[in-house]
Amino acid sequence: MLEVLAVPAYRKLFSAQIVALLGTGLLTVALGLLAFDLAGGEAGAVLGTALTIKMLAYVFVAPLMAALVERLPKKAVLVGADLIRAGIALMLPMVDQVWQIYALVFVLQSASATFTPAFQALIPVVLPDERHYTRALSLSRLAYDLESLVSPALAAALLTVLSFHELFLGTVAGFLFSAALVVTTRLPAAHAALLEGTLWHRTTLGARIFARTPELRGLMALNLVVAAATALVLVNTVVYARELFGGSNADVAIALACFGAGSMVIALTAPRILDRTSDRTLMRAGAVLLSLGLAGAFVLLAVSGPWPVLLGLWVVLGAGTSMISTPSARLLRRAATDSTRSYIFTAQFSLSHACFIITYPAAGWVGAAAGQPAAAAVLAAVATISTVAALRFWPATSRTGPAPATAKG
């Protein structure tokens, strides 16, 4: 897997991803402490609103920005987005009103919605060989999983000597270092033909390509399966550990670590698996595994089963999400041309996050109103229906090929 780091351009871009992820992780911790400082007991509502703003930026701003920055050099787009994120992070310690958090989070996440799809669309250009690209996807997935473990620990260590306001400086440093790495990276010369058409046509192009491509329609359904499992884990783990099982904050961390561990195991083994089997086979297996894992969570909660079983289910859910998420960009790569690549990657970024607007409320609100077994049952049903839909949308006989950019939809 590490052989792709021998490619200088990818090595620098991957390093930029790592430091930006660490900066974002520190931001998450610092933002929670800032919300508590300003809102006290209402901090949960503040963070929930900020999370909603983040998702709205990802869903609606990302496609618009992809169309607006199409004619700009990719390096300038990435560096500019990093500088904006660093500037916003530098301003956050100075806020003294909750509405200021919302405004700054919207700008920061809009910059992230510009940076991330552009970054993801650049990797297949830097690594045109599919074997190398697959290994890069596994490394990227591994980086996300490790960040979820390392960032909270790093933040805890820094908070022993710094105030949470100073923690934002770590975020600033991460984004600035990321920008510096991108600046010094030699990127392949761009040969993409600029697309014609109105801003609306270009903004909606990626979604229309998804709608008419069988593999990408299947991926859209699989995104909802991933969102169902991820929402149950991220939203309700704290409730299960502290309230239902009477555990501690450490138990919350252990459960989340189990979810991350399951994901990392697949991230490490996916390249070898994909050398021997198809994307569809692995992703289909992941969807079935997630549906069964969520059904298992429902049964466990309904019968008040033991805590170790929940930890095992969290490992299964982590593995299932990685089985779908790790290969997904290979489908995007095959469906894209030089002129449509950024739009397709942006559409995946936007549409996949739109799924969380459905599953986050289902996990939280249904759990609060009807009980935790009901929330698991609803998300298991969502995952099962979406799995069936994915198999229907993406028949075994279909083959991904570049989708034309000119077709109207």
Q: Is 340 helix (H, G, I), strand (E, B) or coil?
A: coil
Q: Kindly tell me if the per-residue pLDDT of 45 is higher than 80.
A: no
User: Does the residue 198 lie in any domain?
Assistant: no
User: Does the residue 97 lie in any domain?
Assistant: yes
pLDDT given for residue 401 in this prediction: 55
- Identify the top-confidence range among 201-215, 285-299, 335-349: 285-299
Both 104 and 34 in one domain: the answer is yes
Q: pLDDT-derived band of residue 404, with 50, 70 and 90 as boundaries?
A: low
Q: Between 162 and 286, name the one with better pLDDT.
A: 286
pTM: predicted TM-score of the whole model, two decimal places: 0.82
User: Does the residue 156 lie in any domain?
Assistant: yes
Domain count, the chain: 2
pLDDT given for residue 409 in this prediction: 41
What percent of the chain shows pLDDT beyond 90?
38
- CA dist 307 and 2 (Å) reads 36
Residue 106's domain comprises: 7-136+150-190
- CA dist 93 and 80 (Å) reads 22
Both 280 and 376 in one domain: the answer is yes
Q: Between 407 and 49, name the one with better pLDDT.
A: 49
Considering only the C-alpha atoms of the chain, give the largest distance between any 2 of them, rounded to a whole number of Å: 59
pLDDT digits (tens, 9 = 90+) for 72-127: 888 899 999 999 999 999 999 999 898 998 999 999 999 999 998 888 888 888 88
- Cβ(323)–Cβ(293) below 8 Å: no
- CA dist 409 and 407 (Å) reads 7
**One-letter identity of residue 384:** T
Going 115 to 121 to 123 to 125, the CA torsion angle's sign is: negative
pLDDT given for residue 320 in this prediction: 96
Average pLDDT, the chain: 86
CATH code, 387? 1.20.1250.20
User: Does the residue 233 lie in any domain?
Assistant: yes
User: Does the residue 221 lie in any domain?
Assistant: yes
Both 297 and 339 in one domain: the answer is yes
Both 348 and 244 in one domain: the answer is yes
Q: pLDDT-derived band of residue 215, with 50, 70 and 90 as boundaries?
A: very high
Q: How far is CA 377 from the centre of its chain?
A: 24
User: Does the residue 261 lie in any domain?
Assistant: yes
Both 364 and 306 in one domain: the answer is yes
Both 220 and 312 in one domain: the answer is yes
Both 75 and 110 in one domain: the answer is yes
Q: Kindly tell me if the per-residue pLDDT of 406 is higher than 60.
A: no
**What is the crossing angle of helices 249-276 and 130-159, to 10°?**
170
Helix (H) or strand (E) holding 79: helix 74-91
DSSP state of 397: T
Both 270 and 365 in one domain: the answer is yes
pLDDT digits (tens, 9 = 90+) for 218-259: 999 999 999 999 999 988 888 888 888 988 877 887 888 889
Both 91 and 226 in one domain: the answer is no
Q: Between 2 and 27, name the one with better pLDDT.
A: 27
- Identify the top-confidence range among 37-51, 95-109, 157-171, 290-304: 290-304
Residue 199: both structure tokens together: 């801003």
Q: Kindly tell me if the per-residue pLDDT of 166 is higher than 90.
A: no
Both 227 and 339 in one domain: the answer is yes
pLDDT given for residue 398 in this prediction: 63
Helix (H) or strand (E) holding 182: helix 164-183
User: Does the residue 205 lie in any domain?
Assistant: no
Q: Kindly tell me if the per-residue pLDDT of 284 is higher than 70.
A: yes
pLDDT given for residue 3 in this prediction: 76
Going 367 to 373 to 376 to 382, the CA torsion angle's sign is: negative
Both 180 and 288 in one domain: the answer is no
Both 72 and 28 in one domain: the answer is yes
- CA dist 195 and 180 (Å) reads 30
First to last CA, the chain: 39
- Cβ(21)–Cβ(147) below 8 Å: yes
Cα Rg of the chain, angstroms: 21
pLDDT given for residue 155 in this prediction: 78
User: Does the residue 94 lie in any domain?
Assistant: yes
- CA dist 394 and 238 (Å) reads 36
